[in-house]
Amino acid sequence: MPNNHSNASVLRRRDAILRLVREEVVRSQEELQRLLAERGFEATQPTLSRDVRELGLAKTPGGYAPQGTHDRAADVAQRASRLQRTLSEAVLSVRVAGSLVVLRTPPAGAHPVARAVDEAELAEAIGTIAGDDTVFVATPGAVSARALAARLAGPPSADRRRHA
């Protein structure tokens, strides 16, 4: 038999979370936990993670927001900007190998680059695999790989080697 008291408290807490993210800027789960505590709701970090997931909250540059309420265009623009910044700071070379684009980075630089590529949701990029200093970006084919390599390489700079 379900515990109605527990279910009711979960519903009240989640309702409070929704009110908070609609009325205030909430940038982290720690901040959310503090704001809830101020309103009489005690919740552990794993409980908040589950609540955020179940409520479908999106983490946006402006803090948590109910899905569908954040500015998708601004989010896409921010991810594209983050990708360009990451590429300019961390990618040493871009090469095509068949249907793969191979990005070389300094040691331990591959994971942030792969994440930026994944988050940018580029149409040509099917997925990434990151090692220590190399990122493989899978594309649908050689034509897509060349287009993506050109896009990721951007304008050549004096301190980086770019090969498409």
What DSSP string runs through 53-69?
Answer: HHHTEEEETTEEEETT-
Rg (CA), the chain: 21
pLDDT value, residue 17: 93
Phi first, then psi: what are they for 11, rounded to 5°? -65, -40
120 SS3 class: helix
pLDDT value, residue 19: 87
Candidates 51, 59, 60; CA nearest to 17 is 51
Rounded CA gap, 140 and 123, in Å?
10
pLDDT value, residue 60: 79
Residues of the chain with pLDDT under 70: 1-5, 68-75, 155-164
pLDDT value, residue 92: 95
pLDDT value, residue 159: 44
Q: Give the pair of three-digit tokens for residue 33.
A: 């936990």
pLDDT value, residue 158: 40
Phi first, then psi: what are they for 90, rounded to 5°? -125, -10
pLDDT digits (tens, 9 = 90+) for 89-129: 899 999 999 999 999 999 988 988 998 898 888 999 999 99
pLDDT value, residue 155: 66
pLDDT value, residue 77: 74
Give the chain's domains with CATH numbers. Answer: 4-66 (1.10.10.10), 73-153 (3.30.1360.40)
